[in-house]
Amino acid sequence: MNLFGVLLLDREPLSLTAVPGLVMAWLQDAGGFAALGLIIYLLAVMLAPKDQPASQKLRMPVTGFMVAMAVLSLLTYALMAAAWAMGKGATPADELLPPAQVGEAIKYVPPTVHWHLQPILLALGGLFAILGIAQPFVRDLFKLRFRRIMALGKICFKEAIRNRIFLAFLVFLVFFLFPVSWVGTVKPEDELRSPINILTTGKNIFLTIPFLILAAFAIPNDIKSNTLYTIVTKPVERFEIVLGRFLGYSALMTFVLLIMVSLSVIYVYTITLDPRAKEETFKSRVTARGKINFMASRGFTEGTNVGREFEYRKYIGGSPDTRERAVWSYDSIPGNLTRSDRDSVPLEYTFDIFRLTKGDENRGVDVNIRVCAWQTGQYPSPTKGDGIWRWTDPAKQKQYEDERAQINDNLKANKYGPGYDSTLNYARPGTPTWKLVSDLAKKYGFYEVPSVEVYDFRTGSVPIPVGVFQAAAEGDPKNSEGEVIPRLQVYIKCLSHGQMLGMAEADLYLVEGQRSFAENYYKASFGLWCRLVIVIGIAVTLSTYLAAMIALIGTLFLYLSAYFAEHIADIGAGTSIGGGPFESTLRMVRGESPTMPLDQNTGALGAITWGDAAYSWFFRRYANIIPDVDAFAWSDFLAEGYNVSWEYLVVNFLILVGYLLPWGVLAYYLMRNREVAA
């Protein structure tokens, strides 16, 4: 049995298909903040005293376009409010997630586009507000000159080199390049995984802190040392100062990160690894994942919850007679799987075994695997106690079984000549017998691994003949009723009595191919790069208006909040155990358990509920402004030996731009309105 890494995917990485939904959500969320900003801005201008100096008036211009957009935005929001009040155009419940339950983990689901009146009005209102508030910003963008920004950026490099604290932090990074075995015992299989985790943690801490300090202190220090006064007397756009700082530190960070990543790659390639670690994680597998469903005699089920605290996996019961299956469905077949130059595709899997009986010493459980193209439908036997699933076309099943038996007889009788095995059962890729297996799989779109032993959290692999994928890729996948069906399905059955087999969507996949580990290292570091750019962006923005230390603490608070996003989402959704702050306070005063239902006869229950709802609303808005750092987490992919797709990185970049753009506009306004003239 081969050993590979185990990848836990709590949330599926965002792919390009999620972009429209993300854009809509961005328009709704960022647009809401933009509308608020626009109204505050317009009110500030309107309420400003008339006798203020000309320079002040110049810094707060109001154009007709802004006013028009503000009016349009308000009108759209008013329409949205009316539709909401009348109950028209809301997103139907079946398109929304079921309401979260108290105490249950909130599963991340990427936003989707809803073509209904209310969400569209919300997005439209946001769009108008964004256009309105961004108009001066966009207009002034054309005044920016790259040469001036570069010059300001260069200062960042020089200052950073002069800054000894920054250099001291960088020195710490070198310690992370020491072999892990110097500081402790590592399991042979973890000899690569552990250093990668340590290096990532080290880079996370020792790059974030110095760049946060640098970015937060840059502009306030310029003001403190009066250099900013000199700069603003030159023909420099104020936003160029912000952009110069941001791009300068980002470039510096990129340079340092590149060096660190390159050193890390050299380190990883030069250390002596245990063969087990090499086999497990020193690779970059390109995988094709399907959608998981659980099925039993009564159709789709949710899988069994065995009561583990981590509810990532669901379980199927084990027995030769069981009709329970876990089914992975593929709506499309990647071209790599049907290439004529390959004869097999590895199917890898990682399952969790939940034992109801002790089992045998040092033995896993047995699993049956069926890979079926869309032409070969499967359904559970109607007979209780018959654990074998039937083909939807019994004649075809009979034909398949007869032909397989015939081939086996021929092999036994040595009719195919030398070089063939005596049975199809033990055929391995690269042998003439495997060709027979593949041809049979192609003809019927079916391949079965009768029994394979699996161990707890150990990734196993079985070769699947390429024929079955070629069959699945052909034709138009529809069933007899004309409904579109998946092109390929993988059925998993647990054969061992008294054992439960747990699995999640990411636990089974087809290996399309391999890429370079070094390339994957650089790609995985892009996530860290995005995080650092976010930190620099927020810190520079806040430092345009706030004191350096306040900007630093503010940025740190915002950034660290992202690591508690789950908890914040819990509070925002009102699903935290014990209720919101008001309910919790009441419970504490009464000494009630947080899991007990609240007494409905409580006085002022309405006020408590309203207070908690308001609190949740504010937390939801706060959740909108904290960065989604989890979207940039690729270290597990790298450490476990999975390729980080370019598609994911493109989406990462789009998210980064989408997140920083509002901060950029804010920085533009703050810097423009700041009094810096001596």
Q: What are the residues binding another protein (CB under 8 A)? A: 6, 8, 183-188, 190, 193-194, 197-198, 274, 276, 296-298, 301, 309-310, 312, 317, 319, 321-324, 352-353, 358, 361-362, 364, 384-385, 387, 455-458
With vertex at residue 523, the alpha carbon angle to CA 15 and CA 213, rounded to the nearest 5 degrees, is 105
570, 103 in Cβ contact below 8 A? no
Shortest Cβ 307–another protein spacing (Å): 13
The residue (of 189 and 240) whose beta carbon lies closer to another protein is 189
What distance in Å separates the CA atoms of residue 306 and residue 624, rounded to the nearest whole number? 35
Compute the residue count for the chain.
678
Question: What 3-state DSSP class applies to 449?
Answer: strand
Q: Which two tokens stand for residue 174?
A: 């070198």
3-state secondary structure 197-228: HHHHHHHHHHHHHHHHHHHHHHHHHHHHCCHH
Q: What is the dihedral of CA 546, 548, 549, 553, to 10 degrees?
A: 70
Shortest Cβ 555–another protein spacing (Å): 18
CB-based contacts of 17, cutoff 8 Å, min separation 6: none
The residue (of 10 and 474) whose beta carbon lies closer to another protein is 10
The residue (of 64 and 184) whose beta carbon lies closer to another protein is 184
Shortest Cβ 272–another protein spacing (Å): 10
The residue (of 194 and 338) whose beta carbon lies closer to another protein is 194
The residue (of 455 and 491) whose beta carbon lies closer to another protein is 455
Element holding 171 (H helix, E strand): helix 164-175
Tokens 């959704």, residue located: 573
The residue (of 405 and 549) whose beta carbon lies closer to another protein is 549
With vertex at residue 551, the alpha carbon angle to CA 548 and CA 555, rounded to the nearest 5 degrees, is 140
What distance in Å separates the CA atoms of residue 594 and residue 13, rounded to the nearest whole number? 34
Shortest Cβ 103–another protein spacing (Å): 15
What's CA 565's distance to the chain center, in Å?
13
The residue (of 78 and 167) whose beta carbon lies closer to another protein is 167
579, 587 in Cβ contact below 8 A? yes
Compute CA distances 281 → 229, 285, 350, 375, whole Å: 54, 9, 14, 36
The residue (of 380 and 664) whose beta carbon lies closer to another protein is 380
The residue (of 127 and 558) whose beta carbon lies closer to another protein is 558
28, 76 in Cβ contact below 8 A? no
Shortest Cβ 276–another protein spacing (Å): 8
Shortest Cβ 206–another protein spacing (Å): 12
Maximum Cα–Cα distance across the chain: 106
**Burial class of residue 532 in the structure, from the number of CB atoms within 10 Å of its CB (0-12 exposed, 13-18 middle, 19+ buried):** buried
The residue (of 296 and 650) whose beta carbon lies closer to another protein is 296
Tally Cβ neighbours within 10 Å of residue 563.
11
Shortest Cβ 570–another protein spacing (Å): 15
The residue (of 96 and 560) whose beta carbon lies closer to another protein is 560
The residue (of 457 and 617) whose beta carbon lies closer to another protein is 457
The residue (of 301 and 336) whose beta carbon lies closer to another protein is 301
Q: Which two tokens stand for residue 271?
A: 């250390």
Question: What 3-state DSSP class applies to 463?
Answer: strand
Shortest Cβ 292–another protein spacing (Å): 18
Shortest Cβ 312–another protein spacing (Å): 7
The residue (of 132 and 195) whose beta carbon lies closer to another protein is 195
The residue (of 3 and 60) whose beta carbon lies closer to another protein is 3
What distance in Å separates the CA atoms of residue 640 and residue 49, rounded to the nearest whole number? 62
What is the per-residue burial (b if ≥16 Cβ within 10 Å, else e) of 276-289? ebbebbbbbbbbbe
Amino acid letter, 169:
F
What distance in Å separates the CA atoms of residue 607 and residue 581, rounded to the nearest whole number? 12
CB-based contacts of 591, cutoff 8 Å, min separation 6: none
DSSP of 471-533, one letter per residue?
HHHSS--B-TTS-B--SEEEEEEE-STTEEEEE-GGGEEEEEEE--HHHHHHHHHHHHHHHHH
Q: Which two tokens stand for residue 663?
A: 């901060």
Shortest Cβ 189–another protein spacing (Å): 8
Shortest Cβ 438–another protein spacing (Å): 32
365-373/446-454 β-pairing:
antiparallel
Shortest Cβ 616–another protein spacing (Å): 23
Tally Cβ neighbours within 10 Å of residue 267.
15
Shortest Cβ 462–another protein spacing (Å): 18
Shortest Cβ 324–another protein spacing (Å): 5
Shortest Cβ 370–another protein spacing (Å): 18
The residue (of 312 and 653) whose beta carbon lies closer to another protein is 312
Shortest Cβ 461–another protein spacing (Å): 16
Tokens 């001291």, residue located: 168
What distance in Å separates the CA atoms of residue 572 and residue 623, rounded to the nearest whole number? 8
The residue (of 193 and 487) whose beta carbon lies closer to another protein is 193
Shortest Cβ 280–another protein spacing (Å): 11
